[in-house]
Amino acid sequence: MKEHTVEITETVLRDAHQSLMATRMSTQEMLPIIEKMDQVGYYSLECWGGATFDAAIRFLNEDPWERLRAIKKRAPHTKLQMLLRGQNLLGYRHYADDIVDKFIEKASENGIDIFRIFDALNDSRNLEASLKAVKKYGKQAQLTICYTISEVHKIEYYTQLAKELEKMGADSICIKDMAGILTPFVAKELVRSLKSVLTVPLSLHTHATSGISQMTYLMAVEAGVDRIDTAISPFSEGTSQPPTESMAIALNEGFATTKLNLQLLEEIADYFKPIRDKYLANQQLDPKMMAVDPKALLYQVPGGMLSNLYSQLKQANATEKYEAVLKEVPQVRKDLGYPPLVTPMSQMVGTQAVFNVLAGERYKMVPNEIKEYLKGSYGRSPMPISDDFRKKIIHNESVITNRPADHLQPEFERLKKEIGNSARTDEDVLTYALFPQVGKEFLIKKYSAQKVEQKREAIDEEQTIRISAYL
C-alpha cells in the first residue's frame, strides 16, 4: 500500500540550466513546450529567480518580466515558482524594504505563485520583509533552510530553525541542499525530525553533483517529505537535479506515488534533447558539469562553485593550486563562522580562499564584501566569529547587530527619478534597481530597438496604404 503522494517541482526552466550552463537557455527555446509541461501534473514549475534575471539582461538581451508573462500565459494550470534571495532579492546586496515590497508585488502580478525565499546565513531576520510582502499580495511563501555541514549545523539546529520559520508564517518549508552534500541516511533523520515539528508541507531540493542525490530523495520520501525538485532528463544529473522521469518511475513502484504523466514526460524530454545537444556542440554546456564529483562531499563545495574556483585559477595561470584552494575553503568558512556556501557567500568564501592561496599569506588581501560581512552588513553568522580575527580584518569599525535592512533608507522613488525616461514601467525601475549598470544599458537598448521597429512598422503601413490607393 502506498504511504503518500509526492509532489514534484520541475527545475528545467531555472535551476537545471543555471547549474549546468550558467542560465543561458533562451525564452524562445522554452515557450514551445510550456503548454505540454502544464499538462504533466507537476506541483510547480520553477521558472524564474536565481540567476535567470541577471543572465537575461546581461547575456541574452531579453526582458525577464516578458519571459515570466509568456510562461504564465502558456501554463495557467500549474503554479509558477521562483527562487528569491530574501533581502538580496535577485542581486548581490541588501535592498531597502520598499524595493522588496515592490518587487514581490510586480512578480506576483506577472505570474509568480510560490516564492521560495532563502537567506545565505539562515538569518531569519533577512526573510521578514519578503515574507510580509508575499502574504500581502496573497501568494505562497516557502521559507528555506540552507543545508550545510559544520560544528553548528546539526539536526537539532535545523529542527529549531524549521519551527521558527513556520512560526513566522511560512506556507511550506524547503531544505535547500545547494551543494548536493545531504547524504541519504542523514536526509532520512533530518526529514523525520522536521516532520515531527512541522504542520506545513516540507520540500527537499538537492543537486546530483556528488552522485548520491537519487538515494537521498528515496530516503527522504520514505521519511515523509512532501515535495522534491527534479529536472527533465536531458538537463539533469551532474550539477543539476536528478531526472524527473527516473524518480517518478522509482517512486511509483515503491512506497509513494506521483501525479506525473510519464508519456508526456517522454515527449518533453525528446523536446529538450536537441536543445541540450546544441549547447554541448557550442561548448556552452561543459560535459564536466554533467559528471559526478564526490569531492563535493569532502569539501562541501557546490558544483557551480567548483567550476568558478577553477576558472579563477585558470585566469591566474595557477590551476596547479586547485587542490590547495579546495582545502582552504573549509578553513575560510570556519574563520567566518561557518556560512552556508550559497550565493552570495559561496562567491565570497571562494574568492577569499583563492586570494589566501595565491598570496601565500592568509588574509593578506581581503575583498570589500568580506569586510562588509564582518561588519554585520549581511546578517548574523551561524557561529560567533572570533573578535581577534574580526579586528585583524576591520580593526575597530562598528558592527551591525540588528536586522541589516533597518539601516537602509527607502530607495524606489529615488531610483525611479534617477533612471528617468529610460524606464517606462515599475518593472523597468526594478530592473535598474537590481542591476544599475547592466539594467540601464539593457533598458536603453530595449526601447531603442522598439523605436526602430515602430518606425519600420509605420513605414510598412504607409506603403501598404499607398499601394491600396493605387490599386
Residue 303 is predicted with a pLDDT of 64
What does the pLDDT read at residue 352?
Answer: 95
Q: Which residue has the higher pLDDT, 3 or 335?
A: 335
Work out the number of other CB atoms within 10 angstroms of the CB of residue 334.
15
CA distance 86 to 372: 18
Q: Which helix (H) or strand (E) holds 266?
A: helix 262-281
DSSP string, 203-251: EEE--STTS-HHHHHHHHHHTT--EEEEB-GGG-STTSPPBHHHHHHHH
Per-residue pLDDT for 467 more than 60?
Answer: no
Q: Under a CB-based contact definition with an 8 Å cutoff, are residues 218 and 184 in contact? A: yes
Q: How confident is the model at residue 290 (pLDDT cuts 50, 70, 90)?
A: confident
- H or E segment to which residue 144 belongs: strand 140-146
Lowest-pLDDT range of 79-83, 340-344, 358-362: 340-344
Residues 55, 57, 58, 59, CA torsion sign = positive
Best CA proximity match to 439, nearest among 63, 181, 166? 63
Query: Would you put residue 425 in left (φ > 0), alpha (ψ -120 to 50) or beta?
Result: beta
> Cell numbers at residue 195, please?
516532520
C-alpha cell at 144: 528555506
As a whole-number percent, the residues of the chain with pLDDT over 70 amount to: 94
Q: How far is CA 431 from CA 62, 396, 417, 437, in A?
A: 12, 36, 14, 10
Number of residues in the chain? 471
Model confidence at 244, pLDDT cuts 50, 70, 90, reads very high
Nine-digit cell string for 294: 564526490
**CA nearest 284: which of 301, 263, 307?**
307
In our burial notation (b when 16+ CB lie closer than 10 A, e otherwise), range 440-466 reads: bebbeebeeeeeeeeeeeeeeeeeeee
What are the pLDDT digits (tens) for 97-129?
999 999 999 999 999 999 999 999 999 999 999
Helices (DSSP H) in 41-183: which residue ranges? 52-55, 64-74, 97-110, 128-136, 155-168
Query: Higher-confidence residue: 251 or 458?
Result: 251
CB 209 within 8 A of CB 245: no
Task: Compute the mean pLDDT over every residue in the chain, rounded to the nearest whole number.
Answer: 93
The total of other beta-carbon atoms located within 10 Å of residue 468's CB is: 8
pLDDT, average across residues 120-147: 97
Write the CB contacts of 387 (distance below 8 Å, at least 6 apart in sequence).
none
Task: Specify the pLDDT at position 457.
Answer: 56
Task: Tell me the per-residue pLDDT of 313-322, one tens digit each, with 9 for 90 and over.
Answer: 888 899 899 8
Averaged pLDDT, 132-139: 98
Q: What is the mean pLDDT of residues 345-362?
A: 93
- According to DSSP, the residues that pair with 393 across neighbouring strands are none
Please state, for a pLDDT cut of 90, what percent of the chain lies above it: 81
**Confidence category of residue 468, pLDDT binned at 50, 70, 90:** low
Query: DSSP letters along 412-453, please?
Result: HHHHHHHHGGG--SHHHHHHHHHSHHHHHHHHHHHHHHHHHH
Cα four-point dihedral sign 250, 251, 254, 259: negative
**Eight-class DSSP state of 57:** I
Query: Where are the strands (E) in 307-436, listed by range?
Result: none
Average pLDDT over residues 162-174: 98
- In 3D space, the residue among 368, 362, 336, 364 whose CA is nearest the CA of residue 349 turns out to be 336
pLDDT tens column, 368-402: 999 999 999 999 999 999 999 999 999 999 999 99
Please, is 92 exposed, middle or buried when counting C-beta atoms within 10 Å of its C-beta (0-12, 13-18, 19+)?
middle
| CA-based nearest residue to 97, from 418, 415, 407 | 407
pLDDT tens digits, one per residue of 191-236: 999 999 999 999 999 999 999 999 999 999 999 999 999 999 999 9
* Residue 460 pLDDT > 70: no
Q: Quick one: the chain helix, strand, coil %, rounded to 5?
A: 55, 10, 35
Query: Does pLDDT of 449 surpass 90?
Result: no
**pLDDT-based confidence at residue 453 (cuts at 50, 70, 90):** low
pLDDT confidence of residue 431: 98
- Cβ neighbours, 10 Å, residue 307: 17
- Does residue 70 have a pLDDT over 80? yes
One DSSP character per residue, 38-49 reads: TTS--SEEEEEE
pLDDT value of residue 462: 56
- Amino acid letter, 31: L
The CA–CA distances, whole Å, from 21 to 14, 236, 354, 468 equal: 11, 12, 23, 51
